[in-house]
Structure 1
Amino acid sequence: MPSRSERRARPLGRILAGRIIAFAMLAMLAQLVAVLVEYARDPENLARLVLERESAELAQGLTHDDTRLGFQLPEALAARYGTANSGYMARVRTASGVVLFSHCDADCAEHFLPLDLHPPTFWIRTLVPGYPLTFAGGHTFNPGDHVVFIEIAVTGDPQGAMWGVLVEEVLDHMLVPMSLTLLFVLGATLLSLRAALRPVAAAARQAERLDPLGTDARLDAEGMPREIAQLAGAVNRSYARTRELMAAQKLFTSAIAHEIRTPLAVIRLELERLDHPAARRATAELDELTHFVEQLVTLARLEASDRSGFVPIDLATLAEETVSTLAPFVYAHGASIALEVVPAPPVLGQPALLKDAVRNLIENAVRHGAAGAGGPSTGGGGAGIAIVVSTDAGPGLTVSDDGIGFTPADPAAGGDAPGHYKRAGGLGIGLEIVRRIALLHGGSVAISGNAPHGARVRIALPPADPLTPAR
């Protein structure tokens, strides 16, 4: 399941798309500034564009048939060319001098060409240089077989006709082309990125299934981009170093445990020859140390275990066999043990390891669980402890007792990391063995109280393939 930080992380495609769009917007803004600066430096060119736009819009009011021309001022231009003293003047006439429309006073007539003059196709004259725009000009149009000349004069451009021209220029020559370019670039980039990251996504799924302790734990960098392949190679080398370190740790732990076993056996034989209460206490403590050494050996063996030898297991049968084997040990220490099983789906695992996990929990309860319902015990025995081993349909194995229970380890006092538990007087290594066995089988360990007192430890395991028969 993804962690919270992984869920918060944004997909690379979204990050890249956002940056491409952001830089495209900056580029468009820079180009817009450049366009405005360019037009601001050339008012004559801007006046020419205003003349072309205004005359083309006025031409929309022309009507004609084979013999007759007419003109109706467009409503959108009524505020400019239908209102007195608006700062905009216009005259529409034929090539022969017949005036179809005039919004002009006596002063503006001097800005236009004489009526008896055959008009050129296009002309413009600056009346006052610079801004605001003040100019006069004309443009010839050919509706049908007719020739019509439209003349306009602008004094100060009070209604901002030049801004309409600038907006059209920006839309036609900048926003539309750049938006299309951005669309194609963004689409091509995302498709290329998706294709490039496909092997990376496959490697991520492969990494989720990797067993770091497995001899073949490595990521396949085939088809990855070089930079990602380098990361995969670093991960593979890290896995290899981890396996080497754990192998060295296993060898060291196993060697130390085996070297200690023989001296401990010799010391125990010597102590058994002494008939003294202190020798008996020393023997009991020596048994605890021997048990600890055996647990170290078990931990060392766990490091070498893998899932290649897993077989289907019936938890009820496994629990029954384990309880039968340990019952004499439990009763010899003054405790009791019961078995409660229900039908459960089979699990994949190593029977010996799962039996070790249950055995550790039972021995932990017997050795360190006293002082519960049966009262305090002496010598670390389990007098009065009632132990119940049960299975459930989870599937899971549970060992519960009515002893002193577990308490969280205190890291400040030199204990284990938060989330690790141990009984008072116990070293906690038995629980670590149980936890590692559960992890090796793809399961987990949950510790809780057992009302009114005591502990309950459940090993949850994933079910095996239902078509696979259990042993």
Structure 2
Amino acid sequence: MSDHPVFSLERRLVGRLAIANAIVLVCAAALYLWRGYTHHEAFKEGSELTAWFVHELVSDVAPLMIPLFAATLVVTVLTVRNGLLQIKTMSRQAAGFEPGLLSNRLPESGIPQEILPLISAINAGLERLAQGFETQKRFTASAAHELRTPLAILRARCSGQECPVSRMVADDISRMARIIDQLLAVARLETQQIVLDNPVELQAVCERVIADLYPLASDAGRDLGLWAEGRCKLGRGNDIVLGEALRNLVENALRLSPRGETVEIELLSCGIIRVLDHGPGVPDDKKAEIFQPFQRGAGSHGGGAGLGLCIAAEVVELHGGRISVMDRPGGGAIFIIDLSGAASPSD
């Protein structure tokens, strides 16, 4: 970090221009008095000279110079502020740049030529960043896609073997396949390949997730339950990716809940889905972090990569909602998918 202190360019420019104006006005007043003095030889001696000087200063110089200085100060302030307004506007635009909005650029038209090279350099840097992000996303999607086929072959070869080692390898392959599917989901979200063009019945999404995960829950010694307050739907959405988001939450709850417990899914009529578990819960300082990529909550174990909750959060946000987590009374966590702003009662 630089040792130079931060300063206000506006205040510095106004201050220096005000000092320059004051010097000019003082010099002009001095010249005016000097010319008057040289044209009044009779007042060169004694108190008459002092009286004349005070009279000229009070009656002629001050009434002219003070308003003139005030006017030049006002004009200076307005000119400096107007000149820096574009910089402040571009600063607000730059503050809105995000990884998903790297196509935005700072305007280069109507910019003073003194700062145009800086704006051009910033835009060129953003272009390089955008290209780097795009290359990274394409690589992630391609690598994940290419890995699916060999993993499917390995899984097929292990499925016919009954030895414990084969079962362990099959489990590892399943976890790897799950991570690859999550990477593909992240790549599709980042490249905006998710189409939201169909109505989505939220109860149907919940029922499908439970049907898909019930065998997994049963094998793990857990149970799944659904309680629906009423039917509601989204006018536009994608039931597949929304179901994947809910599946991530339910899988997480199943993994963290003790054997013999029930993971509950509640669908409220206002469009809020709640997933309740009996796990260790989420510490307060981690409640926001766990929705970031590659973050894993307390008590997590297994082969997860910490992408499930991140994917769920992005999918919910894509559907106009938000996701959060809170403590469950008596222990555990409640994950909340709030789609109330986009949901409406079903016909």
* TM-score, L = length of structure 2: 0.71
Residue equivalent to 1:445: 323
Q: Write out aligned runs for 1:208-357 (5 A).
A: 208=96, 213=100, 217-219=103-105, 221=107, 223-225=109-111, 237-238=124-125, 240-306=127-193, 309-311=196-198, 313-342=200-229, 346=234, 348-357=236-245
Between 164-173 and 430-439, report the one with greater CA deviation. 164-173
Q: Write out aligned runs for 1:90-109 (5 A).
A: none
Displacement of 1:402: 0.9
Q: How far, CA to CA, are the matches of 1:235 and 1:21 in structure 2?
A: 27
One-letter identity of the residue aligned with 2:313? R
**Mapped pair 1:362 → 2:250:** yes
Q: How far, CA to CA, are the matches of 2:269 and 2:15 in structure 1?
A: 55
**Mapped pair 1:431 → 2:309:** yes
Tell me which of 42, 46, 51 is aligned to 1:124: 42
Residue equivalent to 1:68: none
**Mapped pair 1:405 → 2:281:** yes
Residue equivalent to 2:15: 22
Higher helix share: 2
Q: How far, CA to CA, are the matches of 1:298 and 1:169 in structure 2?
A: 80
* TM-score, L = length of structure 1: 0.55
Displacement of 1:25: 3.2
Residue equivalent to 2:3: none
Q: How far, CA to CA, are the matches of 2:116 and 2:235 in structure 1?
A: 37
Q: Write out aligned runs for 1:140-151 (5 A).
A: none
CA-to-aligned-CA distance 1:59-78 (integer Å, 9 cap, x gap) = xxxxxxxxxxxxxxxxxxxx
CA spacing shift, 1:328–1:465, aligned 2, 3 Å:
closer
Do 1:370 and 1:403's aligned partners in 2 also have CA atoms closer than 8 Å? yes
Aligned length: 334
Q: How far, CA to CA, are the matches of 2:179 and 2:294 in structure 1?
A: 22
Tell me which of 71, 88, 104 is aligned to 1:180: 71
Q: How far, CA to CA, are the matches of 1:439 and 1:406 in structure 2?
A: 21
Displacement of 1:425: 0.7
Q: How far, CA to CA, are the matches of 1:419 and 1:255 in structure 2?
A: 20
Displacement of 1:213: 4.2
CA-to-aligned-CA distance 1:143-172 (integer Å, 9 cap, x gap) = xxxxxxxxxxx8xx6xx7844643444423
Do 1:409 and 1:417's aligned partners in 2 also have CA atoms closer than 8 Å? no
Higher strand share: 1
Q: How far, CA to CA, are the matches of 2:340 and 2:311 in structure 1?
A: 19
CA-to-aligned-CA distance 1:317-345 (integer Å, 9 cap, x gap) = 43344334433443343322222344667
Structure 2: runs of 5+ lacking an equivalent? 1-5
Higher RCO (CA 8 Å, separation ≥ 6 residues): 2
Residue equivalent to 1:134: 47
CA spacing shift, 1:451–1:347, aligned 2, 3 Å:
farther
CA-to-aligned-CA distance 1:442-462 (integer Å, 9 cap, x gap) = 544323332322222223457
Structure 1: runs of 5+ lacking an equivalent? 1-8, 49-122, 128-132, 136-153, 372-382
Instruction: Provide the aligned C-alpha RMSD in A.
Output: 4.7
CA-to-aligned-CA distance 1:232-281 (integer Å, 9 cap, x gap) = 65565555444433333333333333443343334334434443334333
Do 1:404 and 1:455's aligned partners in 2 also have CA atoms closer than 8 Å? yes
Q: What SS does the aligned partner of 2:274 have?
A: strand
Q: How far, CA to CA, are the matches of 2:133 and 2:164 in structure 1?
A: 43
Residue equivalent to 1:459: 337
Q: What SS does the aligned partner of 1:289 have?
A: helix
